[in-house]
Amino acid sequence: MKVNGKPYRSIWLAPDGERVEIIDQTRLPHEFHVAVLATLDDAARAIRDMQVRGAPLIGATAAYGVCLGLRDGAADRDMERIGAVLTACRPTAVNLRWAVERMRSVLLPLPEEERLAAAYREAAAICDEDVAVNEAIGNHGLQLIEEAWERKGRQGPVRILTHCNAGWLATVDWGTALAPVYKAHEKGIPVFVWVDETRPRSQGAGLTAWELQAQGIEHRLIVDNAGGHLMQRGLVDLCIVGTDRTTATGDVCNKIGTYLKALAARDNGVPFYVALPGSTIDWRLHDGIREIPIEERGQEEVLLVRGKTESGALETVRIAPDATPAANPAFDVTPALLVDGLITERGICPASREGLARLYPEMA
Ligand code: MRU
């Protein structure tokens, strides 16, 4: 995607061919800053502190984190330590484990002296594949937007509600939930996006709104509690969200608040779709509510809000009494029965064991 007319990915290899550069997402939307990752610790910190976030991008960063770690030693025990450091960074997005396991399976059979170069090749392949996979998700999801437009008699824009940021910033490029929106826009189908603010970290306000504005897509920011009301009023044609982990049975785990949107969508007959690459499917799990680990983040994310003052300064303010504690579960699980379909790189399927098995027979 382009930023000020210049094409960017969310992560890339630095010109020295060793270090890695990322767009620091903690500084958006107010500052566009490229951060350099030079060590395993830099990569782990970037994932933990959410300079990079979104399941596919966490996976891509972990792959490059393995490369950075291997620069200090490539023995089997180094591989173990590097994998352990990276997988401990965030517990919910399964792409983290997926990427580390893929790197291990490629690198461990190789002699030690060949591992570093092979790691860089594999990390680059993971990034390139992510871009292709997300573009395919966009092409498949486009069909849903076209159908919605036909249902409206081609009158007015297709109004899509999304939660959190599952756009290009959450992946290497294109995004998952937003990829169909970008494809529709490219094709000249009018689209309009309701952007959930996504408290507490405001990925909707800070990232999705920034992305959509940069691509010239009409959108409006709403507070997280507005979606149900808008659906009751007939102002939402389609919901599309992402997922950090999908069970073999089609339950999806996404940013906290997604479940409430799915409930409201079902109550109001609004189609609710989830966009995902195959790498977010955890084939070992069958019951999302019981089995998916939910990340609990620090309470300061709920108690403190950061923003730009009218004078242009960036400031942090407390929004609750000093002594008030907060809870901060970062994800929730939407059961498959509330999901109208899964948009994958291999096509759209029902959110069910059978639906996923049809698209991924080799995994099921
Ligand atoms: O905590 P975050 O910002 O990493 O959460 C991201 C999401 O919830 C996304 O919707 C999900 O990773 C899918 S990204 C294509």
For the segment 83-107, what is each residue's pLDDT rounded down to a tens digit? 999 999 999 999 999 999 999 999 9
Mutate to test the pocket of ligand 1, among 255, 276, 294, 295 (most ligand atoms within 8 A of CB): 255
Predicted pLDDT at 294: 98
Question: Domain 2-129, CATH 1.20.120.420 — does that match?
Answer: yes
Predicted pLDDT at 41: 98
Our separate counts of H helices and E strands in the chain read 13, 18
Task: Determine which residue's CA is closest to atom 5 belonging to ligand 1.
Answer: 54
Dihedral sign from CA coordinates of 339, 340, 345, 346: positive
Task: Tell me the mean pLDDT in the region 195-221.
Answer: 97
> Residues 71-106, buried b or exposed e (16+ Cβ, 10 A)?
eeebeeebbeebbebbbebbbbbbbbbbbbebbbeb
Query: What tens digit of pLDDT does each residue of 136-171 get?
Result: 999 999 999 999 999 999 999 999 999 999 999 999
Q: Is residue 200's pLDDT more than 90?
A: yes
Q: How confident is the model at residue 277 (pLDDT cuts 50, 70, 90)?
A: very high
Ligand 1 centroid distance, CA of 91 (Å): 12
SS3 248: coil
Q: Classify strands 341-344 and 218-222 as parallel, antiparallel or unpaired.
A: unpaired
- For residue 331, give the ligand 1 atom closest to its CA: 8
Task: Tell me the mean pLDDT in the region 340-357.
Answer: 98
Return the CATH number of the domain spanning residue range 141-359.
Answer: 3.40.50.10470
Predicted pLDDT at 171: 98
Mutate to test the pocket of ligand 1, among 178, 203, 294 (most ligand atoms within 8 A of CB): 203
Q: Is residue 39's pLDDT more than 90?
A: yes
Predicted pLDDT at 230: 98
Q: Rounded distance, CA 53 to CA 26, Å? A: 10
- For residue 207, give the ligand 1 atom closest to its CA: 3
Q: Is residue 353's pLDDT more than 90?
A: yes
Domain boundaries in the chain? 2-129, 141-359
| Start-to-end CA span in the chain (Å) | 34
Mutate to test the pocket of ligand 1, among 254, 296, 301, 344 (most ligand atoms within 8 A of CB): 254
Q: Which two tokens stand for residue 316?
A: 């942090």
Predicted pLDDT at 336: 98
What is the residue type of 294?
I
Predicted pLDDT at 308: 96
CB atoms within 10 A of CB 314: 11
Residues lining ligand 1, judged by CB closer than 6 Å?
53-56, 93, 164, 166, 170-171, 176, 203, 242-244, 254-255, 330
Kind and range of the H or E run holding 232: helix 227-232
Task: Tell me the mean pLDDT in the region 180-186.
Answer: 98
Task: Tell me the mean pLDDT in the region 269-295.
Answer: 98
Q: Full-prediction pTM beyond 0.95?
A: yes
Q: Among 244, 251, 282, 340, which one carries the catalytic annotation?
A: 244
Query: Which residues of the chain form beta strands (DSSP E)?
Result: 2-3, 6-7, 11-13, 20-23, 34-37, 158-162, 191-196, 218-222, 238-241, 245-247, 252-255, 272-275, 281-282, 304-308, 314-318, 331-334, 341-344, 347-349
Q: Rounded distance, CA 356 to CA 361, Å? A: 8
Task: Tell me the mean pLDDT in the region 209-215.
Answer: 96
Task: Tell me the mean pLDDT in the region 108-130.
Answer: 98
Predicted pLDDT at 364: 83
Residue 245 · residue 93 · CB < 8 Å? yes
Query: What tens digit of pLDDT does each residue of 240-269 get?
Result: 999 999 999 999 999 999 999 999 999 999
Predicted pLDDT at 1: 87
Per the annotation, the verdict on 244 as an active-site residue is: yes
Predicted pLDDT at 2: 87
Residue 254 · residue 335 · CB < 8 Å? no
